[in-house]
Amino acid sequence: MDKEALKILLNYKRISSKTYSFYQITAEEFEIAKKAGLMFDNIVLSHNQAIDWLFEAKSKVDKEHVTALFLASLSSNRLEWRSGLPAYVLSSHFPSHQYSKTDENNSFYCPICGDMLIDDPQEIDLSFYNYTRFTSGGEMVIDDRFEVSRLAFCLDQHSRLSKVAPNQDDITIFKNIIDTILQSGEDDTPNDLEKSIASKKLFKSNHWQRRFLLEILSFCNIIESPRATGYTSKFIPPNKRYRDDHVSEWHYPIRLWRGQDGINKAALNYWFGEYL
């Protein structure tokens, strides 16, 4: 990977989530990162075009590819290898449909999938999408601000990655994460679980990266509660996801998990059984 281009991408971060303003990079820097395949020209995409892109991208990715790279990211800290899995899970049962805003149907959200339609079509900053792939390991897929274009981009980029088999260190790290989940106290919350993993220093990560990793496992139904399940067997649009009354920084479905829920062994075996 071009280290100079990667450094340019990693400097492309949002100054303010309220103003959506970004640190400026020069035109020359942008061209360097673009040539390396790490930054992109903005595109204008409608909701229906994003859906077409999603199905095209998903056809190029399979379960074995996303799970292998997810595991291989643990010891290598290659965060861009991690976001393919949640995008794949969410898209597995994504409904094929078309929807356009009209004067009569002027909702900010698609009533079928929950895609945000504040502007449709909308200009999309693919470079920022890629920045989040390389820095969080899945934030833009997990975020409650659901956008079909994010899933499509993650899968499209993942399809371009070479297949990498996880090594023994990766397997050991993953097994230790699973053991830590199983050792949780009955009333432990996701915050408690994240802190427990942090205290054991199982793999190189910061608070947010550990949190997103646990949220990915929840998307896969591995960490779930009876009231809120993941997306392995069905797609659940944002407006249909169970919400409780308390405020939480965690997303659906892990926000309702407690230590007594343990793990879903069938889901664990479905996604990672060949490595355990």
Lowest-confidence region among 25-34, 119-128, 177-186, 213-222: 119-128
Task: Check pLDDT > 80 for residue 276.
Answer: yes
The b/e string for 115-137 (b: 16+ C-beta within 10 A; e otherwise) is: bbbeebebebbbbbbbbbbbbbb
Q: What is the pLDDT of residue 15?
A: 54
Residue 121, token pair as written in the block: 């079509």
Task: Check pLDDT > 80 for residue 106.
Answer: no
Mean pLDDT estimate for the chain? 89
Taking a C-beta distance cutoff of 8 angstroms, is the pair 213, 223 a contact? no
Taking a C-beta distance cutoff of 8 angstroms, is the pair 184, 190 a contact? no
Q: What is the pLDDT of residue 94?
A: 93
DSSP-based three-state secondary structure for 183: coil
Q: What is the pLDDT of residue 117?
A: 80
Cα Rg, the chain, nearest whole Å = 19
Contacts from 173-176 at CB under 8 Å and sequence distance 24+?
A: 173/74, 173/75, 173/202, 173/203, 174/71, 174/74, 174/272, 174/275, 175/276, 176/200, 176/202
DSSP-based three-state secondary structure for 261: helix
Lowest-confidence region among 71-75, 107-111, 192-196, 272-276: 107-111
Q: What is the pLDDT of residue 31?
A: 94
pLDDT digits over 155-172, tens only?
999 999 999 999 999 999
Indicate if the alpha-carbon torsion angle 187, 188, 189, 191 is positive or negative.
positive
The residue type at 12: Y
Taking a C-beta distance cutoff of 8 angstroms, is the pair 58, 199 a contact? no
Q: What is the pLDDT of residue 58?
A: 96
Task: Check pLDDT > 70 for residue 267.
Answer: yes
Q: What is the pLDDT of residue 103?
A: 53
SS3 assignment for 222-241: CCCECCECCCCCCCCCHHHC
pLDDT digits over 27-82, tens only?
899 999 999 999 999 999 999 999 999 999 999 999 999 999 999 999 999 999 99
Mean pLDDT on 220-226: 94
Task: Check pLDDT > 60 for residue 21.
Answer: no
DSSP-based three-state secondary structure for 197: helix
Q: What is each CA distance from 225 to 221, 249, 257, in whole angstroms? A: 9, 17, 5
pLDDT digits over 65-75, tens only?
999 999 999 99
Mean pLDDT on 177-196: 97
Q: What is the pLDDT of residue 173?
A: 98
**Nearest of 47, 45, 43, 148 to residue 105 by alpha carbon:** 47
Taking a C-beta distance cutoff of 8 angstroms, is the pair 130, 6 a contact? no
Task: Check pLDDT > 70 for residue 104.
Answer: no
Q: What is the pLDDT of residue 242?
A: 64
The residue type at 215: E
pLDDT digits over 238-258, tens only?
777 766 655 678 888 999 999
Q: Which residue has the tokens 């393919």?
A: 84
Query: Confidence band (pLDDT; 50, 70, 90) for 137?
Result: confident
Q: What is the pLDDT of residue 160?
A: 96
Residue 26, token pair as written in the block: 């020069």
Task: Check pLDDT > 90 for residue 182.
Answer: yes
